[in-house]
Amino acid sequence: MRRDDETLLKAAVVAMQADEPDGEQITASAERVAGRLGIDFVASAIESCGDVAQLLPSYRAGDLPSARSLLIEAHLRECGACRSQFRNASRPAIVNWSAPAAARATAWQPRRFGWAMAACFALMACTFFLYKAYWQVPPGVRAEVQSIDGSAWRISNAGNRQLFRGDKLTEGEQLRTSGGAHAVLRLTDGSTVEVNERSVLGVGARGHNMTITLDNGAVIVQAAKRDFGHLYVKTPDCRVAVTGTVFSVNSGIKGSRVAVLQGSVHVVHAGVDSLIQAGDQVATSDNLDPAPVDQQIAWSHDHEKYLPLLAQFSVLRQRIEEIPFPQPRYSSDLLQRVPAGTLLYISIPNLGDFLSEADGIFQDQLSKSPALQQWWAHGQGNNTADLDALVEKVHQMSQYLGEEIVIVGVNQPGNPGFAVIADVQRGGLDDFLGKQFAPSTSTHGLTVFDESSLNAAPVSAPAKGAGYALVRQHEAVFSNSIALLKQIDAQLNVGASGFATGDFGQQITAAYSRGAGIILAADLHQMMASRPNSSGANHPGASRVEWPAREPLEPAIHGNTPASCLMAGCPCLHGFARLRHTQRGGCGGGAFQRPEADRRRHHVDDRAGQRCAE
Amino acid sequence: MAAACPAMPSTESHEMLSQLFAEHHRRILIAACRITGSMADAEDVAQAVFLRLASGKGPPIANAGSYLYRAAINGALDLLRRQKAAPAEPLEEAAGEEFVGHDSSPEADASNKELGASLRLAIGELSPRAAEMFTLRYLEELGNREIAVLMETSQAVVAVTLHHARSRLKKRLRELERGTI
């Protein structure tokens, strides 16, 4: 029978592999070779696994001669069965009698701990600065007694001692005025505290902040302006945070009353932060009977200085409130013409007349009132002319523009572009802008284009100074980007952009239909999607956007004019987060109103409202 | 012998040689015996390998085992080639040290001896490098990767060389079986 080549080769290989000598032959050959080489070789009887197994205990104990140990090691390297038997038998049988090794110190690896050290240092630095800013107790005195009528006492752990003019109060000490007494303290930050009779107060400092703790009595504080920190006045039931204002605090058993003479203060009471304007007051308890501010400060030696100023502020506010505010707008032509890719839409009324009239009232009042003149000169210097010029410039420009001004933000390659669009209601705006915003030694001025000159302008021209203005026959556009100006110009030539018919535009249209004073609308979904490295609508921040309601809107809202805030694309704000001014010129400012609070009126999606409420 | 002789420190050559011999003689003798088919030839190969190691400056101890093993294989292959060039009577028969195979069947034993002798003859006709690779792969049963590392070449070269060697050996075995040497 003939075998194929492969089988034949395999059979030949097997035949060669089978030519393996047995143990006796190897031992005999080894002895002969060792004899010829002249080396020491012990004829070994270790030729089988059984022989090795018998010698393993002695091998483990180290009792074998070196030559036989080498034979065992050589066999263990070649024979897997004996090796596993040796290992398995070693595990339970061998007891480590050797002395325990000394613990090795952990090697120092700077690279491994580099980031951890950096984080630790950063944390320590932050902690240090926070400690310095908020918790460190500065050394030294806290206040100095400038004047005392009657008797006042220092209450401290060292005992009570009468205070005199020039004495100093330190951390932890209290001042107590007796009946009929009156004292004036000057704090280390420059603030002045006028203390009424039967008052108890202490002055402390933590970091950049100072705190007057009024346990009982009344004070009038003229807070100095400061760059860092605040001056706080704490009573048992409220805290007043101020900077650069004048106010009085009256604290008693029934509660506290805070009245503001100049500026504004934040009063935190029962977890609510209230902003109190000049001439207003707030009480922390309903049991406190309302009292006019002038009565509250009647005890002050300077009340004759405060009262006229207080009266002037009251008259000024009353007259300004009487100025008619632009009526709500129920539709908008500009909405049809803004670019289709608008992501931010802000609509405000043309306030030129309002500002001009308010400025006229203020100037009139200022000219009549020496107290107001003194306050204005002390606080603002002699820049009345600058204010007049600015207001006049705004007023004049407003005469060229329509009743509505729209600010749009458009996503562009590189940076987002912003533009201000308004209707032009009379000619000559380009000449006015050219004269009023001409380049000077300190400013680059405003570059004014008409349509032909805009077409000739290079898109890549660097932005200069106050930006660019395009004055068309019926519209005026201001922007910081020539490219955006060209885009809007082309859009205006075509007509409606289609923005108003989109989802975002329809929401704005709905806001107009309810009557709009100020509209702030942002398409958050598209904004997130256009950001580099952004996950678009899935961005976790999209569901946590809160509108900074009070501060940016409050000065601009007046009367019953509503302000609407829309954020399209935000999962929790498919409805309208609506800002409405709740008090006519009062101290309440804007109030953030959730959609579900006014559902019947605003047709808010129920589920969105629930999400918002959550 | 294809493998270079590494150096060995002369001061401790005797003791070191004794240790190396005790540790590696079995593996060397078996490998040489498989290739040559003769225990006497295997003894000669082992003696030559250890003498060469003792005369040189010696390799590092960690590499001595690999060196001896490969040197033994190459020495045995050299011996095969010399026997092909000058056929002689098997030494074991002359010395009365005939190798005793494992197969107890006389007929099968004779057939295997003849087949093994044919393959040895064919291996002796291969190039030294191909013969060494074939021996390491099919007699010592090392993997291609181990062979490549041992011979400082790539696995692809090992695979190609083995493929050609197998083809040549098949062809040569067929010729020997037909008696057309």
pLDDT exceeds cutoff 50 at A432: yes
Alpha helical stretches, state H, A131-161: none
Distance between B154 CA and the closest CA of chain A, angstroms:
24
Residues 6+ apart with CB under 8 A from A449: A457, A468, A469, A470, A471, A485
- Per DSSP bridges, beta strands A518-523 and A563-568 are parallel
Binding-face residues of B in 61-80 toward A, CB within 8 A = none
What residues of A are in the B interface, CB distance below 8 Å? 5-6, 8-9, 11-22, 25-26, 29-30, 32-34, 36-37, 39-42, 66-67, 70-71, 73-74, 78
3-class state of residue A88 by DSSP: helix
Q: Which residues touch A528 (CB under 8 Å, ≥6 apart)? A: A534, A535, A536, A537, A539, A541, A542, A569
Interface test with B, best of A4, A5, A7, A16 (most B CBs within 10 A): A16
Q: In B, which residues are within 8 Å of A22 by CB distance?
A: 100
pLDDT attached to residue B163: 92
* Res A2 pLDDT > 80: no
Can you give the pLDDT at residue A567?
A: 52
Nearest to A9 among B24, B33, B166 (CB): B166
Indicate the DSSP class of residue A106.
P
pTM of the model: 0.38
What's the rounded Cα separation, in Å, for the pair A309 and A317? 12
What the block records as the tokens of A445 is 């001025």
In this structure, how many other beta carbons lie within 10 angstroms of the beta carbon of residue A533? 4
B115–A12 C-beta distance less than 8 A:
yes
Of A190 and A95, more confident: A190
Q: Answer positive or negative: Cα dihedral of A107, A110, A115, A116.
A: positive
* Cβ within 8 Å, pair A33-B14: no
**Mean per-residue pLDDT, A537-546:** 39
Q: Cβ distance A475 to A449 under 8 Å?
A: no
Contact (CB, 8 A) for A313 and A279: yes
Mutation site for A-interface testing, chosen from B8, B12, B14, B18 by largest number of A Cβ within 10 Å: B18
- pLDDT at position B91 is 45
The helix (run of H) or strand (run of E) holding residue A447 is strand A446-449
Torsion of CA A575, A579, A580, A583, to 10 degrees: 140
pLDDT per residue as tens digits for the range A478-515: 888 888 888 888 888 888 888 888 888 888 988 888 88
Give the β-pairing of A182-187 and A174-177: unpaired
Identity of the highest mean pLDDT range in A43-52, A117-126, A436-445 = A117-126
State which H helix or E strand residue A192 sits in: strand A192-195
* DSSP codes of every residue in chain B: --S---B--STTHHHHHHHHHHHHHHHHHHHHHHHHS-HHHHHHHHHHHHHHHHHS-B--HHHHHHHHHHHHHHHHHHHHHHHHHS----HHHHHT-----S---HHHHHHHHHHHHHHHHHHHHS-HHHHHHHIIIIIS---HHHHHHHTTS-HHHHHHHHHHHHHHHHHHHHHHHHT--
Cβ pair A8:B177 closer than 8 A: yes
| pLDDT level of residue B84 (50, 70, 90 thresholds) | low
| A383-390 contacts, C-beta under 8 A, 24 or more apart | A387/A359, A388/A359, A388/A363
List the structure tokens of B61.
Answer: 């101890």
pLDDT grade, residue A212 (50/70/90)? very high
Task: Name the least confident of A50-64, A330-344, B17-31.
Answer: A50-64
**What is residue A554's predicted lDDT score, i.e. its pLDDT?**
33
Tokens of A41: 């070789």
Instruction: Work out how many CB contacts closer than 8 A connect A with B.
Output: 125
| A172 CB neighbour count, 10 Å cutoff | 13
- Shortest Cα–Cα distance, B28 to chain A (Å): 10
Region for A129 from its dihedrals, namely left if φ exceeds 0, alpha if ψ lies in -120 to 50, beta otherwise: alpha
Q: Tell me which of A165-174, A247-256, A341-350, B53-62 is least confident.
A: B53-62
Rounded alpha-carbon distances, angstroms, from residue A536 to A370, A525, A532, A568 = 58, 6, 9, 13
3-state secondary structure of A599: helix
Check residues A3 and B124 and name the one with the higher pLDDT.
Answer: B124
Tell me the pLDDT band of A550, cut-offs 50, 70 and 90: very low
> What is the C-alpha to C-alpha distance for residues A444 and B98, in angstroms, rounded to an integer?
112
Q: Identify all chain B residues contacting A40, using CB atoms and an 8 Å cutoff.
A: 18
Residue A558 has pLDDT above 70, yes or no: no
Which of A4, A27, A29, A71 is best to mutate for the B interface (most B CBs within 10 A)?
A29
Closest CA to A14 of B102, B73, B32: B102
CB A587 within 8 A of CB A277: yes
Q: What is the pLDDT of residues A433-464, one digit of tens each?
A: 888 777 776 666 788 888 888 888 877 655 55
Q: What is the pLDDT of residue A522?
A: 84
Contacts of B33 in chain A (CB under 8 A): 19-21
Token representation of residue A330: 């129920």
Contact list, B46 vs chain A (CB under 8 Å): 29, 33
Residue in the structure block whose two tokens are 């609508």: A537
pLDDT at B104: 54
Structure-block tokens of residue A454: 């805009």
pLDDT in tens, A344-363: 899 888 888 888 888 888 88
Measure CB to CB from residue A20 to each of B21, B33, B169 and give the nearest one: B33
Q: What 8-state DSSP symbol labels residue A596?
A: G
* Residue A166 in tokens: 């020039």
Give the pLDDT of residue B5: 43
ipTM given for this complex = 0.78
Distance from CA of B19 to the nearest CA of A (A): 7
Triad B105, B109, B115: Cα angle to 5°: 150
Cα A594 from Cα A613, distance rounded (Å):
7
CA separation for the pair A76, A84 (Å, rounded): 9
Q: In the predicted model, what is the mean pLDDT of residues B120-125?
A: 87
Contact between A522 and A567 (Cβ < 8 Å): yes
Q: In the structure, what pLDDT confidence band is assigned to residue A431 with cuts at 50, 70 and 90?
A: confident
Mean pLDDT for the stretch of residues B132-147:
87
Among A188-202, A269-283, A484-498, B46-60, name the one with the lowest average pLDDT.
Answer: B46-60
DSSP state of A480: S
Tell which B residues from 108 to 167 touch A, by Cβ distance under 8 Å.
112-113, 115-116, 118-120, 138-139, 166
- What average pLDDT does the structure give for chain A? 75
Residues 15-54 of chain B with CB under 8 A from chain A are: 17-19, 21-27, 29-30, 33-35, 37, 39, 42-43, 46-47, 50-51, 54
User: In this structure, are residues B43 and A41 in contact, taking their beta carbons and an 8 Å threshold?
Assistant: no
Positive/negative CA dihedral, A372, A378, A383, A385: positive
Kindly report, residue by residue over A287-322, the tens digit of the pLDDT: 877 777 777 787 888 777 776 777 777 777 778 877
Of B100, B101, B173, the CB nearest to A8: B173
Cβ proximity of A516 and A581 under 8 Å? no
Give the containing element (helix H, strand E) for A194.
strand A192-195
Closest CA to B2 of B72, B82, B63, B56: B72
CA distance B65 to A353: 104
CB contact under 8 A, B25 and A30: yes
